Structures are given as structure tokens and as C-alpha cells.
Chain A
Amino acid sequence: MKKNSPRITMTKTTIDPSSLLSEVSDPKAGGTVLFIGTVRDNSDAGDVDRIIYDAYLPMAEKRMAEIEEEVMRMWPVRKVAAQHRVGELRVGEVSVVVAVSAPHRAEAFEACRHAIERIKHDVPIWKKERLADGQERWVEGKAMTTAEEVTGSPRTETG
């Protein structure tokens, strides 16, 4: 299933969303969806100045690759690319990008949505908010699903 050699990585440097669009470019694609996650200036804790992302890098890259395989298996997509930042990010900086190309828009939207939900919930990444008042707090997370569950059926989530 690796025929399209997608790029799924964790990165310590600035993400260029256009490079992911290039990665998923495909003559058999009629629709491409690009999701860009950015650091928001507020949370339920107050005004946010920075977010510091930490990750268990080798495990995170494995999980990202599993998510990509899952997406390729569940939808007739052409290519998937995703990158997630680690380190300290300012408001407005890009924290995560997912790009999916597919023959038609419906599967491109669905597959991209699925991939970002998985990345948010099932990859060992943690984030700490530094608030405008200088306080720091870890963002409340949830337990990852197991590898067996990851290979299961799609689920939809908000948040």
C-alpha cells in the first residue's frame, strides 16, 4: 500500500503547507483538501501567548504512518501527507497540516477529517499553553486508542 510514498512526519521546523500540497499532487485527483491547524490566541484558560508541543517522536511517527495507511485503506484517496510541529510556537503559527488528494471531493474531505481527528487523539503529542499572564498549563488530553482500535472503523468527533 506504499505505492504513493506519502510524507508523514513530525518536525521541529516551520511547516510550509504548500509543500504538502505538492506532495499530494496527482493527475488522477479531482479534489484536494488541505487542513491547517494554527495556534489560537485563546483557550478556556484565557489568553494564550505560546503553545509548547512535546512528542514521543519515534512512536509518534509510527502512529502517523498507521493513520496514513488506515486512510488509504478506508477511502479511495490518491495521496496523503501530514506534518505536526513540535517545540515552542507563537500565536498564528502552523502546528499541524494534513493534505489529501482523491478522485472526488467527498472522499477527500472525509479522509482529511478522519486523519486530523486521529492525529489529535491517537498520536503521543502533548501541548502546554503559556498564557498571557505567564502561567503555563498542560492542555487536558485523552488516552490514546490501542493499535487494534486504530485499525478499526471510522469514527467522527468534534472538538
Chain B
Amino acid sequence: MPIRVKLLYFGQARDASGMEEEEFTLPDRSSAAVLLGESSAAHPKIGTMKRSIQIAVNEEIADPDRVLQEGDTVAFLPPVAGG
């Protein structure tokens, strides 16, 4: 049974994708890395920066091999610069 997840783009990733958020339908047991691959396929500029992207799942930093669940909110976070 496929899962649906929401993907949020921030900073340079927002410019690279041209959007703030996007919904993806993925095969069951897909990892965050799979989502990154799907996004890169849709937005080649995301592919060029994906090594620098940190992934958050439901507002916590997650490893790329984190298995996603139905309804998860994933965020692609470029290197941060506050202050």
C-alpha cells in the first residue's frame, strides 16, 4: 500500500524546486533517501545540491535511511545560517 508524505522545501532548496511544499506518493517502506531521489528526478537542481541537504522528519533531524510513514512531513534543510 503506497504512502503519501508532505515535503517542505526551505532556503536554497525552495529556489531549486521552485515551490514551498509538495506531496509525494511513495511505495510502502520507502526511506527518506528515496524521497530525495524522487524530488531530484522532478527538480534537477535539487539533485545537484542533495549532498548538502539535511532531512527532517516531523520536525526532527533524520537519517536518509529513515523509513517514512503515511502522513509524515519531511523537510529538506540546506545548511543553516541564523543570526
Do the beta carbons of B11 and A138 come within 8 Å of each other? yes
Residues on B with beta carbons closer than 8 Å to the beta carbon of A144: 54, 61, 77, 80
Pair A120/B11 contact, Cβ less than 8 Å: no
Could you say which interface size class chain B belongs to? 20 to 34
What is the bound-complex CA distance between A62 and B61, given in angstroms? Answer: 12
What residue of chain A has the Cβ atom nearest to residue B10's Cβ?
A: A56
**Chain B contact residues: over half helix, strand or loop, or mixed?**
mixed
Q: Is the interface of A mostly helix, strand, loop or mixed?
A: mixed
Q: How large is the interface on A (under 10, 10 to 19, 20 to 34, 35 or more residues)?
A: 20 to 34
Query: B59 in the interface, Cβ–Cβ < 8 Å?
Result: yes
Which residue of the partner chain B has the closest CB to A123? Answer: B82
Proximity bits, B55-67, A CB within 8 Å = 1, else 0: 0100111000000
Give the interface of A toward B (CB within 8 A).
Answer: 37, 53-56, 58-59, 62, 84, 95-96, 116, 119-128, 138-144, 146-147
User: Chain B interface (Cβ within 8 Å of chain A)?
Assistant: 8, 10-12, 14-15, 52, 54, 56, 59-61, 75, 77-83
